[in-house]
Amino acid sequence: MSLLQILLSLVLGVLGAVLVIGGTMVRYRFALADIRLAVSILVLIFSLLGVGVACIFGTQVVQLLTTGVSTRGTIVDVVSCGSKGNVSPRVQFTDAKGGLHTQSITGFCSPHQDYRVGEPLSIIYVPGDPTIIAEQGSASSSAMLVLGALTGLMIVVGWFLFASIKLMARPQRAASR
């Protein structure tokens, strides 16, 4: 992953966070403090769940980038995934120890015409866990997505955590007036 890809991921993550925060602030700017607090807490909960998912997916991407081994496999099946007729190929490959594995590509779904049964496919797999595989070159793109998502989610978490704390303190002052 190049420095330009890292910077692009960070910038896109910040822009995504600004859109979420800005959209929420515009929508609830004049709402009662209780409603703003409830919205802040809900956004915070869903953002933390998103951070957890990104970390789980990110762990696999980091394993592929740091310990991944390249090999060629053969597409043995095309499995439906997602919507719009997208598919994920099942690939049979031999690992460095000579073991034969058949595994679906982890990550994103692709249009059906991208894969045909019997065709070779360059993949990368984790030697310690050959169930984690990706198409050659896609791990870097996945890393960009995870980095951008984590950047944006962490900014959103920080913002709404601060907003929640601020809003929880405010009703006490308002009640004394």
On whether the CB atoms of residues 73 and 93 are closer than 8 A, the answer is yes
Query: What average pLDDT score do residues 11-27 get?
Result: 88
**Cα 163 to Cα 167: distance, rounded to the nearest angstrom:** 6
Strand, coil or helix: what is 89? strand
Instruction: Give me the phi and psi of 121, to 5 degrees please.
Output: -145, 130
Place of tokens 């499995």: 79
On whether the CB atoms of residues 157 and 44 are closer than 8 A, the answer is yes
Bridge partners of residue 110, in order along the sequence: 87
CA 74 to chain centre: 27
Place of tokens 């019997």: 118
In tens, the pLDDT along 45-104 reads: 999 998 988 888 888 888 888 888 999 999 998 888 777 778 888 999 999 888 999 998
